[in-house]
Structure 1
Amino acid sequence: MSVGQYCNREVIVASQDTSILEVAQLMRRHHVGDVLIVEQQREQNIPIGIVTDRDLVVEILAEEVSPDAVTVRDVMSPVITIPEKADLWDTLQQMRYQGIRRMPVVNEKGGLEGILTVDDVLALLAEGLTDLVKLIKHEIEQEARLRSKP
């Protein structure tokens, strides 16, 4: 199972010169908790940072910094990327080791292809567990039908 199979391909991006207000508005408009900061290189979006809703609260609001006084460049965190062909379970181990909840997924040239988040993985696991429960229920029902025949 590769990361590319399970990552979210709809990623909201901005440049490092984007205002904090614009980033917050992007998050609200698209109902997301992060915006990837990219740099255009060789006609590809190369991920260079990330701004999360938590960054806005902790770094701007809690510190009473005027959103007009800073840009994304001032608050973005660096990102660790993962190739889209990387193994999903190895990637989860790396995320746990690094203490990160979001990891941009890139192609062989470093261009942005998607993002893998803890939320995506939880949804995948929940779906898998639901399928297992359905399998067990079906098996029990099938066995009951077979045994109830005269």
Structure 2
Amino acid sequence: MMSPGPINGEHPIARHPIRSARIVGDDGEESVVATVYCPLKERSATVPECESCHRFHALHFDAAARTTSVVCHSGPASRGEERADPPRGVGGPVNPEMPLANIMTRDVVCVRPEITVDAISALLVRHGISGMPVVDAEGRPIGMVSRADVLRAAQERGDTGESERLTLRRDEVPPLDMDQGFHVVEPVKTTARDIMTPVVVQMHESASIRQAASLMAYEGIHRLPVTSDDGKVVGILSSLDVLRWLGRCCGYLIPVARKRA
């Protein structure tokens, strides 16, 4: 498909991918928050908000990449703004001022602090990721949980899980006939809140790659929650995202990140 050019003297049409943040609760239910980064306002916007803007042109679905984008007349390129149907070639000037919204992982999986370690482990395997943000009821990051945290919790727990004693009322019948001195216990469930690393490092989506890379190197971290104006998670930046961006700028053919089956 040909790249759209100026229409009736307007600016070239730009394409902005729709991002999704999936928040998984302790009951296994998922809620999805979809947003679009507006380079003119330098903040996230909802799809209905984009559709009501006078610059809105259409919604575009890329069957090959399986992504949906908002197409709009957003004016001249701003700090690395994406254009519709970019050229297939690679290479170009390295722009460290490009906003994180352009290179971060747009489909991010988040969990609530009450979710169990077993559920976290299943999510890591299912989505082929090594870590995820832990968010509060408003979708704001309060911690990060990684594969290393899960393995550490399993090692500390060992073969026998911790238990807590149950107190039965007199009118309740014990499930088993037990001799004197025995009591009923149930395993204590280890949750994300118990093993997560409290979030002390996060960045706004309009922050530059230069700032994020420097902060990640200084703090010695591999992933960084990316937030919008209201503090909610809209993406996640990993060290691989930065390396992938740099490799493409240097002219190497690097495919999009693939999720493991």
TM-score (norm 1): 0.79
Partner of 2:196: 76
Secondary structure of the structure 2 residue equivalent to 1:48: strand
Q: Is the 8 A contact 2:121 2:147 kept in 1?
A: yes
Runs of 4+ in 1 over 6 A off after TM superposition: none
3-state SS in 2 of match to 1:130: coil
Distance in 2 separating the partners of 1:96 and 1:102: 11
Quote how far apart the aligned CAs of 1:18 are: 0.2
User: Cα offset for 1:90?
Assistant: 1.2
Provide the C-alpha distance between the structure 1 equivalents of 2:137 and 2:112, rounded to a whole number of angstroms: 9
Return the structure number with greater relative CO, CA threshold 8 A, min gap 6: 1
Q: Deviations over 1:65-100 (max 9, x none)?
A: 449631111000112110001111111101111111
Measure, in 2, the Cα distance between the counterparts of 1:81 and 1:40.
18
Given the alignment, which residue of 225, 228, 235 partners 1:114?
235
By how many angstroms is 1:50 displaced?
1.0
Q: Which residue is equivalent to 1:144?
A: none
- Aligned AA (2:194): D
Identity %: 28
Does structure 1 residue 124 correspond to structure 2 residue 239? no
Distance 1:50 1:130 in 2: 33
SS in 1 for 2:142: strand
Tell whether the 8 Å contact from 2:209 to 2:242 is kept in structure 1 after alignment. no
Distance 1:64 1:130 in 2: 47
Equivalent runs, 1:1-150 vs 2, <5 Å: 1-41=98-138, 45-58=139-152, 60-65=153-158, 66=161, 69=188, 70-79=190-199, 80-130=201-251
What amino acid maps onto 1:9 in structure 2?
A: R
Runs of 5+ unmatched residues, structure 2: 1-97, 163-186, 253-261
Match of 1:147 in 2: none
Report the residue type matching 1:82 in the other structure. Answer: M
Coordinate RMSD, CA, aligned? 1.8
Gaps of 5+ in 1: 132-150
Displacement after TM superposition at 1:114 (Å): 0.2
1:40 is paired with a residue whose SS is: coil
Task: Name the TM-score, length of structure 2 as normaliser.
Answer: 0.46
User: How many Å apart are 1:40 and its aligned residue?
Assistant: 2.0
Give secondary structure in 2 for the equivalent of 1:62: helix
Partners of 1:6 and 1:40 lie apart in 2 by 27
1:33-64 C-alpha deviation (Å, 9 max, x unpaired): 112111122xxx11111110011112x13323
